[in-house]
A and B are shown apart, each in its own frame.
Chain A
Amino acid sequence: AQSVTQLGSHVSVSEGALVLLRCNYSSSVPPYLFWYVQYPNQGLQLLLKYTTGATLVKGINGFEAEFKKSETSFHLTKPSAHMSDAAEYFCAVSDQGGRRALTFGSGTRLQVQP
């Protein structure tokens, strides 16, 4: 069975500050890991994903995440927050190959203060 834990349901940062959203996973097989962003009343937009290979993954809008197997983590970072980054962020895990549905974390709401 797979599971995802997102620490912190709400994170608030100042514009221009570092964004760090935490995600830990459990999986009995090598996982595929994803970060999605959701704006109010909209669907999911893929920010980035880790499948195999390089553990530091760069995504859209300046976000990146690092897969750390020893820590079972896949934390999302962005060096400098922008007001438009305010949204809900979901970490998700899938079995290798993505054959099954994704298991989502509970989400983290990011607020960006001016």
Chain B
Amino acid sequence: GAVVSQHPSRVICKSGTSVKIECRSLDFQATTMFWYRQFPKQSLMLMATSNEGSKATYEQGVEKDKFLINHASLTLSTLTVTSAHPEDSSFYICSARNPYEQYFGPGTRLTVT
């Protein structure tokens, strides 16, 4: 099946710094990628939809200036958490869609100290 990778798998950063998370579709082109966030012991919540070559669409309550999404190519989307704070600590999961199905990445554990 299709493979989606995320990098890094886990990252620890200090409060106030920015962190970039990459999501790559390794063997297919993804016109659409989705970013989800999962807090401990909770379900996945959609943050934003990323379309190649256009601005991301953010869900209500998600700050677009804090969570910057760039979908520069058909195989790469990046999520940058700007001026991270401890409450941003979470598990971030991306998914990439081809015409037939969505495929999930393994997730990135962000811890902000």
* Chain A interface residues (CB < 8 Å from chain B): 36, 41-44, 46, 90, 94, 98-107
Contacts and interface: CB of A to CB of B under 8 A. Distances in A.
Say which size band chain B's interface belongs to: 20 to 34
A102 B49 CA distance: 11
Interface of B: 6, 32, 34, 36, 42-46, 49, 91, 93, 95, 97, 100-102, 104-107, 109
Contacts, number: 45
Contacts of A102: 34, 44, 46, 95, 102
Judged by DSSP, the binding face of A is: loop
Nearest to A103: B46
B44 to A, nearest CB: 5
Contacts of B109: 41
22 contacts: A42-B107, A43-B6, A43-B93, A43-B105, A43-B107, A90-B44, A94-B102, A98-B97, A98-B100, A98-B102, A99-B32, A101-B34, A101-B36, A101-B95, A102-B34, A102-B44, A102-B46, A102-B102, A104-B44, A105-B43, A106-B43, A107-B42
A43 B104 contact: yes
